[in-house]
Amino acid sequence: QVLQQRILRSRWRNKQKEEMNMLELDFLFGVGFQLNVTISTFNNYCSFLRREMVRLTNMNSLFVEPSLSFRSSFETKLVMNTLEEDSLITHHNKKQLAAA
């Protein structure tokens, strides 16, 4: 019975994760992927993704740095807001502020 409860909880958690992924995708499409973040936020997120990649591969595979052209193409799309250096700014929030 305990095993059945664990299986049910596991399935429920996986379902929640799938729904959250769909909500995230819906949000990204809703804002037209027009997310503006600071360079420091972008670098922190890249570092986090690298650590997760290493963790998921159990550090057994060779980790390859992304190419410079890949990274620079993303960095050129970033808009750095010098007044709010460490905050996330979305296109959606800008529209809300403009309407206010």
Question: Residues 47, 81: one domain?
Answer: yes
Question: Are 40 and 78 part of one and the same domain?
Answer: yes
* Residue 22 within any structural domain of the chain: yes
Q: Specify the number of domains making up the chain.
A: 2
The pTM for the full model equals 0.31
- pLDDT value of residue 25: 78
pLDDT of residue 44: 86
Q: What is the domain range of residue 80?
A: 36-85
95 domain residue, yes or no: no
Say if 93 falls within a structural domain: no
What is d(CA 98, CA 100) in angstroms, rounded to the nearest whole number? 6
Predicted confidence pLDDT, tens digits, the chain (100 residues): 777 777 767 776 666 667 767 777 787 777 787 878 788 888 888 888 888 888 777 555 555 555 554 555 554 444 444 444 444 444 445 555 555 4
